[in-house]
Each structure stands twice: as structure tokens, then as C-alpha cells.
Structure 1
Amino acid sequence: MYKADNWNKLDIIYYYRVFGGVRFVWFRGRTVAALLVLTTVVACSATYALLELPDWKLGSSGVSGKEAGQAALREEEVNKLNKAVSLIERRFLLPTDRNRLLDGAVNGMVESLSDPYSVYKPEEEAEKFNDALQGAFTGIGAELRVENGAVIVESPIRGSPAERAGLQPLDVLLSINGESLQGLTLSEAVTKIRGPKGTKAKLKVQRSGLAEPLDLELVRDRIDLETVHSEMSEDGIGYLTINQFTEDTSAQVAQELKALEARGLKVLLLDVRDNPGGYLQSVVEVADQLLEQGQPIVQSEYRDGERKTDVAQNGAKNDRRYPLVVLMNKGSASAAEILAGALKQSGGAVLIGETTYGKGTVQVPFNGELGDRSLIKLTVYKWLLPDGTWINGEGIKPDIPVAQPDYFQAWRLPRDIELKYDTTGESVSNLQSILAGVGYPADRKDGYFSEETKRAVERFQTSESLPVTGEVDAKTAQRLEERLYAGIQKRENDAQWQAAMNKARELRASAP
């Protein structure tokens, strides 16, 4: 049995807290959830296993623990590696470090798997990860992965600098503060992106559908981790937000459910939007609290095709069998998808929002397996929905598709140039989207700075007591972004939340 305490709390929760921390600023009266500011929770949307795996399941031969242990390098393979090290040390132009050569060899083996979720961390980096778990963290608030040499955003965290700047899933980070990120390993990219609180991270971002890269400027932040929050409406609809599945999430959910039930809970609305995943065991325990005993939660399929099914062991109490609504979006990944799928197929939940990310594999970090303090994280099996569907690369489709208004997808306005009349480009179309979001729509949104766009800017500047120029300088850009962010936090502007609440009220009205 893999136990987190035996892994110094690094192995299981390792990626979603690595390099990052979280800051929850509660708005909307109770204060909103979510300035999760992770410097870069490298591939955080992986699901991590805390479960019993027979040795042969993890062995290189797939036969038995004993036989797997015999799968050492043959003499000719050892000789090849020795000759490579010797040749480099004898003939390479510059001095070499043997430890770095060995780390490079292991890293090369893991990279040859062509799996963005399998990584090698040498001793120094593994120790930094462990140290990072001991306190608060600083960062930009985005989960990343590296694929084919490109640094890709998996999900910006709600309320984070990354979200404020408009980073979106599948954005490709080209450079940070002028330094290229192309071709770097995940740890190398993260090292460049992380930094002290208050420092600036200037990102160049390639986004599908846009001809030119975006220039975004973020300010790193420092925060602490919290994952669950609940509210209750007067008509008995409970709203439960789960931001990540950590080792404490299940206990937090149990506590919040108990409080909601004590207040007369009739329908539960779970929000896992922009939840990048986390513990496999945690999501199984959460689902167990909401499904009837014996109902399937998730299937695990190993390399030999054998499957194991996790079912609700304890099951929801009789008084906990209330209708379920799940809010999800394209930033809902991995463990969040497990919960949505389990509640849909085994609990009759209604799914609302957008198709999810589509992450269907499980990783296990191996700490100390190489005889030192280095770490290898490997994808060891895939997970399937209760009916056996593998959603990897596809995601889970909602029962009720709901897109957010266009301005929810806006990104940060430029600070190095002024947007003004008769200019064109994607920055102008982004401005027009923001103007609509703050209540001053222009006559168009095609990226041409028209006379009406100028007048819309002037009206906004007048309302904000800014110099009325009709041009968007740094101060106007900052104020526009502040007003847009404040507007996005208001529930009346959240189309997905509104749709979910309408469905919850409908279920409440029809409930016995």
C-alpha cells in the first residue's frame, strides 16, 4: 500500500502543489474561491494513485516482482553506456559532470516514453519539491505540461494571475521575460516561470485561431491551499465548490455536506470548473459520500488489460440521496472528470457547462527507487468511466452545454502600446470584448478601432474619472481589466452557474 506519509508527502500530492501555492480570496459576499496561485503545478491535472498495486503491475516485464527485478541491463547494454560516458569525458570540449550525465541518461529514458505525464526529477529538484510542500508558494496559477518540446497550459486556476491575464487551456507558452521556453524540460520551464511574489512574468503566448502571439504580463503571488467551499440558498440548494482533490479534500467535503444537510439540503450543485485533478483516492472517497453503496465509481485498466473497479464502499446515507447537478468546463481534468462521470453514470447527476479536458491516465511517483533521492513519476494505468469509456483526449460532454459570454475569454491588454482610433488587430478585438463585458459595448468586435469604439472608451473613461482621450493607455487598460474581473465574479454574469441553478431549482420543484 503506497502511503503518503511514507513518501514525505511528496509523492502523492507532488504535482499539484509543486512550485505553487494557493491563495483563496473569497468574493461574492462570502469571498470567492480561488486565487490558487501555483507557480506552475507541473502537469497538475494528472491523477495520482494512492492504492494497492501488485509488484508485477509496476514491473518492467509485467510478469512478477521477482522476474521484473531481474530485468537489469545486459552486459552489452552496460558496456554501451560506459563507453558513452567515457567517450564524452575524454573527448568533449568542455569539462563534464558525471552526475549530470547520469541524470541526463535517466531523463532521456523517461522522455523516450513520449508521455508528457512521466518525468524524472534528480535529487536537487526532488528536494525542492519536498521543501515546497512545507509552506506557502508563489507563482502565476497555471498547470502546465510539455509536449513535443512545447510548454502547454492545461488549466489556469480560478482567481489566479494566470486567469486574470486571460490564459486558457491549450495555450502554448513561447517565452518568459524574453527567454524562450521551446525545447525545455518541464522542470527547466518551471524554473524560469517561477519567482518571488510581486515580480513580473511577461509571457508570449501562442493561441489556436490567432495569427500572432499574445503578449501577457502577470504578477506572481503567494498563497495557501484550500480546496472546498460551500454555500446554501434559501430554497435548499447547496453549492459546493471543489478546486482540487488533495489528501484533505474528502474530509473537507464530508464536513461541508454535514453542514449543508443540517440546513435542509434538497439539491446539491457541485462545481468542478477549472479543477485540474489530484488524488485518485481522494475523488473515490468524495464520490463514495454521494453514491449508493456498491455503485461503481471508476475503473482502472492495467498494461495487461486487467481491470479493477472502485465502488462506493460506505455509500451515501438514505437522507443523502438528493438530486445532483455538476458544473464543469474545459479546465475540469482528471480526478474532476472521474467525479463528474461517476456522479452522472452511477448517481444520475445532470452535467452542465463545457466538455471537459480529457485526461484519462494515472501516475505514480517512485521516490528512492533509483537508490538515491531522485524521483521518477510514471503513467502506470488508465482510468475509465463506470461503463468502461476511456475519455482520454475526448473529455466528458455536458448534458446541457452552456458557453460563457465572449468576455470570459478575454486576455490582458497591452501596456507597451496604446490602442486608438483606426488601428486594427487582435488586441483591438480583445478590447472590444472587454468593453462589452464592462457595459460599454462598441459597434463591432472584428478588431477595427472604429469611431464608436473610441466613444465607448471615452464613456468608460468618463465613468472612471480617467482622462477622456478615447485611447487605451496603461491606466485605462488596468481599470478595464479590474472592472472586467469584478464583473466576471458576479453570479448574474456567470451563464454556466445561472443554468446550473435553474436546473437545480427545477429538480427541487419536482423532488418529493
Structure 2
Amino acid sequence: MTLWTATLLTLGVLAFSGGAALVPGTVGAAGEEGKYDSLKRFSQVLDLVERYYVRDVPRKDLINGAVKGMLQGLDPHSTFLSVEEFKEMQESTSGEFFGIGIEISSENGQLVVVAPIEDTPAHKAGLKSGDIILAVDGVPTQDMTTQEAVSRIRGAKGTEVELSILHRDAKAPEVVRLVRDAIPLISVKSKMLEDGYHWVRLTRFSERTTGELVDALKEANKKGMKGIILDLRNNPGGLLDQAVSVSDTFLKDGVIVSIRGRMEDASREYRAKAQPGDVSVPMVVLVNAGSASASEIVAGALRDHNRALILGERTFGKGSVQNVIPLSDGAGLKLTVALYYTPNGRSIQAEGVDPDFEVPFELPREEEKAHRLNMVREKDLNRHIENGTSGKDARPASRADDVKQALEKDNQLRMALQFVKRLPRLKDIQ
């Protein structure tokens, strides 16, 4: 299984560190030692720890710690997965799991929010890309592995977890209490903004994403399609094959993404193929700093083929490929095996995808918000007459109301709608 996950499971603690006395006869130039000599050293250290360490530690824990330390020294995304952790990773891309719906990464020993998943407790609580998680249930996260943090944050549905959060624009941390819930598996949402212009939102790339996208596009086509806004903001990534098939839905031919690794079998080129259901109407793709990995593959492919206009903010910049390798005992290994490149041969690693038009997201003006909150209404007056029909036959919000509200709150979406209405059709671009 090949994953592009901006979060999943980074390690941040060395199993063995310096500061101890040297054991005679074990010092040598690393470059001159063979595998046997290195393993002999490891065996000696393991024996010394088991015999003399102040506490009795199970050998399994020592071995797992050593493996984690080895992988931690490689990069932020390579990691050892215990049996439980391996199962959790599989559930996060295919089955139901419970938590708060957040993708995290490790940066300089700190746990950083890559993106909250839409319609989850984290999203509803206002957590945003770039927020720093300082503590989980009072336990400091400094140098905590991302997998340990994931294990602490996940839990049974209905239980509570407390996070200490430092928002990007804040001077002091905030304590946020969230109730764990089922993380929604639906990854595609769509809405018609104006006659013929559709907003298609991808929240992540799971096993069902392309199928859900195709269904959404079929429904949109029944209503008439003049243009599409593909929203990849705060989409932290997911499965490689889904990034390729989503891109292929909008491309007739050409390279989608190429992968280059040290081993020959780790290098591959993925190409688009013409299909009856290919969509060719004008497109705008929305991205931001929470758009990572698989999202960047799609944005990079559509940009390099001049298939879509990219609007928003620079993406996260995760351009590495991890293979998840099952081990014989049910555990797993997530190992970085390659880097990926856009059709033009550009690596996105640590750089991201720059939008064609940079449009920072703007929150509604605070003074307007405060004004709306402080306005006196009839219900605020003393001895006001109660509404005898309140709660009875209340008119539900219409689709038009939902669209109006979405556009009012989202300047990037408003701009994308303006652009897509003015773009020529694909045949005119080419």
C-alpha cells in the first residue's frame, strides 16, 4: 500500500542517545564496519541495558525503541508501526474509526496541525493548519512522536480529550476540549453555486474518493455543467492511486506524476488515459497551506497541463512517497522510498505548489462580526411577547441560503467563482 499522508505517524524520539561512558573495545569507524560488526554492537548494548539498567524493561520494548530510533533519524515520515498502530493506519484509509478528525506532523520537535478534516470535532472547534499542539490531556507534546499523539488523541466515541493549542496568530495557548466522534468516511461534497457552476470539495483521498467524485460529477452533469471549482483546501492527502485517478478524471492524456527512488522498482510514471467520462469544462482549483501530498499531486498535474487555474495560497510541500510494508508479526514499516515530480519535472518537496493567483483567506471583518453580535433584537427586550409558533414548521435553510452563506464567508471561493465564469473552455485553452 502506498500512501501520501501529511500526518500519519512520524517518530520523534531517539531510542539511544549520547552522554554515557564508552564501553572498551566497541569504538570503530562506522564506515569500516560490516553489518555483522554493527549488529554485534547492538547485541552488546542490548545485553548491557537488560543487565544493568535501573528498571526492568521488556526486550520487545527495547527492540521496538531501537527500530523507531533508527527510522526517526531518516526523515519525519519514516516510522515503525506496532500491531495496533498498523491497524489504526489501515482503518484511517478504509474503515470507520473514532477521534477528533485531525492530521498532524512533527516539525522541530513540535506537533503541528496540517489540517482538520471537514465536519469533525477538530474542524468544528476551529483548529486550523499551522496550530501547534502543546499538550494532550495535560501531557506535554515536546518531542512526543506523532504516533503517540495519535494514540492519545483517538479514543472511544463520546469520550473527551483536552488539547492545549497555540494558534498561529495567538500569543498565549488555548485549552480546547473536544468530544471524540466517528470520523466521516465521505470524502467528496458538491454544491451548485450558480446555474451550471459547481463547487466540488475533496476532504481527503481515501479508497472511495474517485468513485464519490464520479458520482458527484454525474449529478452535476444532469443539472448542466459550465464550470467546476475543485476545492482541495485543508485536504491532507491520502492514497496515491486515488490522486492519480482523480487527476485522470480531468485529463485526457499525458503524465500525471512521476516517482523516482533509489531502487528501480520504486521509480514509475503515471499517465492519464482518455475515458468516456472525462470532464472538460473550465476549472479552478483552490489550495492552501493545508493542501498536502495527494492534493499537491492533483494541483500540480492540472496546473502543468494548463487544465485548471490554481487559486489560493502555497501548499504544504510534502513531496515524498512512503510504502507501508507489513511485517510477519502484524506490525508494519512506513518507509520513504521515493520523491514525486509534477509533469514538468518539478519536485514539490519542502516547496509546495504556488498558485497562479495568490489570494489569502480573509476572515469576516471583526468589527462587522462584533456589530452583528451586539445588535439588539426584539427577543432581547424586557417583557417581549413570545413567539407562539417558535419551533413549529420552521422553514429549513434552502440551497440558495446555504450557497449565499458560503460565498459570504469565503473570499477565496467568491474569487474562484468569478474566475471560472470567465475561463474559456478547454478546447480554447489548448
TM-score by length of 1: 0.68
Match of 1:85 among 32, 42, 46: 46
Match of 1:338 among 297, 301, 306: 297
1:213 has 2:173 as partner = yes
State the one-letter code of the partner of 1:253. L
Aligned to 2:19: none
Matches within 5 A, 1:192-231: 192-208=152-168, 210-231=170-191
Aligned to 1:66: none
Distance 1:399 1:87 in 2: 59
Match of 1:361 among 296, 317, 320: 320
SS at match of 2:317: coil
Task: Render the CA deviation track for 1:39-58: whole Å, top value 9, x for unaligned.
Answer: xx6359xxxxxxxxxxxxxx
Aligned to 1:183: 143
Aligned to 1:42: 8
SS at match of 2:85: helix
Which deviates further from its counterpart, 73-82 or 275-284?
A: 73-82
Q: Residues 365 and 460 of structure 1: is their aligned pair in 2 closer, same or farther, counting only changes over 3 Å?
A: farther
Matches within 5 A, 1:132-281: 135-208=95-168, 210-232=170-192, 235-281=195-241
Q: Residues 177 and 123 of structure 1: is their aligned pair in 2 closer, same or farther, counting only changes over 3 Å?
A: closer
Aligned to 2:370: 440
Q: Residues 232 and 125 of structure 1: is their aligned pair in 2 closer, same or farther, counting only changes over 3 Å?
A: closer
Distance 2:139 2:293 in 1: 31
State the one-letter code of the partner of 2:47. S
SS at match of 1:327: strand
1:96 has 2:57 as partner = yes
- Structure 2 residues not aligned, in runs of 5+: 11-32, 383-401
Cα contact 1:272–1:326 (8 A) shared by 2 = yes
Cα shift at 1:80: 1.2
Cα shift at 1:214: 3.0
State the one-letter code of the partner of 1:266. K
Aligned to 1:389: 346
Match of 1:403 among 341, 348, 360: 360
State the one-letter code of the partner of 1:88. V
Aligned to 1:504: 420
Distance 1:133 1:269 in 2: 25
Aligned to 2:411: 495
Cα shift at 1:123: 2.6
Distance 1:124 1:289 in 2: 36
1:301 has 2:301 as partner = no
Cα shift at 1:290: 1.0
Cα shift at 1:132: 6.6
Distance 2:206 2:239 in 1: 6
Task: Render the CA deviation track for 1:131-163: whole Å, top value 9, x for unaligned.
Answer: 677753222221012233321111122333223
Aligned to 2:274: 315
Task: Render the CA deviation track for 1:433-483: whole Å, top value 9, x for unaligned.
Answer: 7x546x334xxxxxxxxxxxxxx86x258677599xxxxxxxxxxxxxxxx
Aligned to 2:86: 126
Cα contact 1:43–1:143 (8 A) shared by 2 = no
SS at match of 1:383: strand
SS at match of 1:406: coil
Task: Render the CA deviation track for 1:324-355: whole Å, top value 9, x for unaligned.
Answer: 11112221111111111111111431111222
- Structure 1 residues not aligned, in runs of 5+: 1-10, 17-40, 45-71, 408-432, 442-455, 468-485
Cα shift at 1:110: 0.6
State the one-letter code of the partner of 1:280. L
Task: Render the CA deviation track for 1:63-95: whole Å, top value 9, x for unaligned.
Answer: xxxxxxxxx973222221221121111111222
Q: Residues 326 and 397 of structure 1: is their aligned pair in 2 closer, same or farther, counting only changes over 3 Å?
A: same
Which deviates further from its counterpart, 253-262 or 490-499?
A: 253-262
SS at match of 2:242: helix
Distance 2:378 2:315 in 1: 39
Q: Residues 127 and 256 of structure 1: is their aligned pair in 2 closer, same or farther, counting only changes over 3 Å?
A: closer
SS at match of 1:251: helix
Cα contact 1:267–1:508 (8 A) shared by 2 = no
Cα shift at 1:270: 1.0
Cα contact 1:202–1:218 (8 A) shared by 2 = yes
Task: Render the CA deviation track for 1:229-270: whole Å, top value 9, x for unaligned.
Answer: 233355322322211111222222223223323433222221
Identity among equivalent positions (%) equals 34
Aligned to 1:108: 69
SS at match of 1:169: coil
Aligned to 2:331: 374
Distance 2:425 2:65 in 1: 62
Distance 2:313 2:56 in 1: 53
Q: How many residue pairs were aligned?
A: 386
